[in-house]
Amino acid sequence: MTDLDTLAQEALAAVAAADDLEHLDEVRVRFTGKRSALTGVQKAMRDLDPDERRARGQALNAFRSAFQAAFEARREALGSAALATRLEAERLDLTLPPRRLPPGRPHLLTQVEQEMVDVFVGMGYQVAEGPEAEAGSYNFDLLNIESDHPARQEMDTIYVDGFDDVVLRTHTSPVQARVMTRQAPPIAVVCPGRTYRADAVDATHSPVFSQVEGLVVDEGVTMGDLRGTLLAFSRAMFGHERRIRLRPSFFPFTEPSAEVDVSFEGAAGHHGWLEILGAGMVDPNVLTACGIDPERYTGFAFGIGIERVAMLRHGVADIRDLYEADARFLARF
Ligand code: PHE
């Protein structure tokens, strides 16, 4: 039996010495494969007498299972060592500080516009939009602004070269004309958008600015409805303690017309009024021109400067800050 014992010793030593899975498999082939010494031993059993053969068979099985156990154990050890090596090689260093990209956000004017529109959508208004390059008929004529009105002079209005009677809209009010010519009352819309005037730039003026227009037309709409709506808007935007004040004014498309101020309380008991918008009851001439019966329907309209609201709410002193895309300024909002 010494041949099998020696073989077992050699085999187990070889298993223990195999330093990777490939070598381990070579050991398996060498000691238990078809051409191994083991196969020789097995073949030689045919010539033994039954007693010897049984004893030999048991020894052989013992060898096989000892080898199998050692082989499996070694394979597992080498396998997890290989895995550990791979994991180590592929390790991610999660402590590396990330490169920080500041998250983007909407521009202050966009934020304020969205808030303003949301206030009105919350009161049941729909949003309507119109073109920035607008027909003079919508920007002026349908709004009761006659052709000799000073607003139509080239020094006030930007006309589009090469097109007859096309202007960059001077206010968002043409959108109310567009809505009224298309839709029967009841109407409740807000129209946010960019507007243009031939103004020189200074701390409070810009040739490009933006407005939110509002229009409500229905049976029995009154100036009281207008006042209540604007008070609700002012409180939503500026705070619950705000009051509003309507001052008589003039717009060709509203009668009566008002300029609306919102109250403020400054430092050291300083308080006063700030103008935030123009408004009024839609002029019957405008209703008629847009195909709505002024005997049956009344309406109110208002136009709010978005820059104005943004500047008042956020303490921005110079309108140019809103257009200069200075990331240090914009990052504050
Ligand atoms: N369109 C006017 C302006 O731009 C504002 C306004 C709108 C006034 C609606 C009354 C009614 O100044």
What is the arithmetic mean of pLDDT over 110-135?
A: 97
Task: Please check the confidence at residue 248 and state whether its pLDDT lies above 90.
Answer: yes
Task: Please check the confidence at residue 253 and state whether its pLDDT lies above 90.
Answer: yes
- How many whole angstroms separate alpha carbon 60 and alpha carbon 42? 8
Decide whether any atom of ligand 1 lies within 6 Å of the 234 Cβ. Answer: no
Tell me, yes or no, whether 79 and 185 share the same domain: no
Tell me, yes or no, whether 12 and 121 share the same domain: no
The answer to the question of residue 102 being in a domain is no
Tell me, yes or no, whether 199 and 165 share the same domain: yes
pLDDT of residue 270: 73
Give the model's confidence band at 2: pLDDT under 50 very low, under 70 low, under 90 confident, else very high: low
What is the arithmetic mean of pLDDT over 44-51?
A: 86
Tell me, yes or no, whether 134 and 227 share the same domain: yes
Q: Which domain holds residue 15?
A: 2-89
Q: Identify the residue with better confidence: 131 or 148.
A: 131
Task: Please check the confidence at residue 246 and state whether its pLDDT lies above 70.
Answer: yes
What is the arithmetic mean of pLDDT over 148-157?
A: 77
The answer to the question of residue 96 being in a domain is no
pLDDT of residue 152: 75
Tell me, yes or no, whether 307 and 270 share the same domain: yes
The answer to the question of residue 97 being in a domain is no
What is the arithmetic mean of pLDDT over 220-249?
A: 95
Beta bridge pairs of residue 257 = 249, 280
141: left (phi over 0), alpha (psi -120 to 50) or beta: alpha
Give the model's confidence band at 82: pLDDT under 50 very low, under 70 low, under 90 confident, else very high: confident
In CATH, what number is assigned to the domain containing residue 195?
3.30.930.10
Tell me, yes or no, whether 73 and 112 share the same domain: no
SS3 per-residue string spanning 166-200: EEECCCCHHHHHHHHHHCCCCEEEEEEEEEECCCC
Tell me, yes or no, whether 124 and 69 share the same domain: no
Beta strands in 64-207 (DSSP E): 126-127, 133-135, 166-168, 187-196
Tens digit of pLDDT for each residue in 278-301? 999 999 999 999 999 999 999 999
- Contact indicator for 241, 270 with CB cutoff of 8 Å: no
Picking from 60, 89, 118, the residue at the C-terminal end of a domain is: 89
The answer to the question of residue 53 being in a domain is yes
Q: Identify the residue with better confidence: 209 or 154.
A: 209
Tell me, yes or no, whether 24 and 144 share the same domain: no
Tell me, yes or no, whether 80 and 128 share the same domain: no
Residues 6 or more apart from 129 whose CB is under 8 A from it? 175, 191, 192, 193
What is the arithmetic mean of pLDDT over 30-34?
A: 88
CA 229 to chain centre: 30
Most confident segment among 37-46, 151-160, 317-326: 317-326
Task: Please check the confidence at residue 1 and state whether its pLDDT lies above 60.
Answer: no
Tokens of 55: 């004893």
Say which range, 138-152, 157-171, 204-218, has the weakest mean pLDDT.
138-152
pLDDT of residue 48: 86
pTM: 0.71
Q: With 0-12 CB in 10 A as exposed, 13-18 as middle and 19+ as buried, what is 221?
A: buried
- Contact indicator for 301, 173 with CB cutoff of 8 Å: yes
Decide whether any atom of ligand 1 lies within 6 Å of the 176 Cβ. Answer: no
The answer to the question of residue 322 being in a domain is yes
Give the model's confidence band at 98: pLDDT under 50 very low, under 70 low, under 90 confident, else very high: confident
In CATH, what number is assigned to the domain containing residue 64?
1.20.58
Tell me, yes or no, whether 36 and 159 share the same domain: no
The answer to the question of residue 95 being in a domain is no
Tokens of 222: 């009154």
Tell me, yes or no, whether 46 and 113 share the same domain: no
- Ligand 1 atom nearest to 195, measured from its CA: 4
Beta bridge pairs of residue 248 = 258
pLDDT of residue 132: 97
Decide whether any atom of ligand 1 lies within 6 Å of the 130 Cβ. Answer: no
Give the model's confidence band at 93: pLDDT under 50 very low, under 70 low, under 90 confident, else very high: confident
Three-state DSSP state, 121: helix
Give the model's confidence band at 327: pLDDT under 50 very low, under 70 low, under 90 confident, else very high: confident
Picking from 89, 116, 146, the residue at the C-terminal end of a domain is: 89
Tell me, yes or no, whether 113 and 83 share the same domain: no
Task: Please check the confidence at residue 174 and state whether its pLDDT lies above 60.
Answer: yes
- Ligand 1 atom nearest to 257, measured from its CA: 10
Q: Ligand 1, atom 7: nearest CA belongs to which residue?
A: 303
The answer to the question of residue 98 being in a domain is no
CA 257 – ligand 1 centroid, Å = 9
The average confidence (pLDDT) of the chain is 92
The answer to the question of residue 63 being in a domain is yes
Picking from 38, 54, 89, the residue at the C-terminal end of a domain is: 89
CA 281 – ligand 1 centroid, Å = 11
Total count of domains within the chain: 2
DSSP 225-273: HHHHHHHHHHHHHH-TT--EEEEEEEETTEEEEEEEEEEEE-GGG-EEE
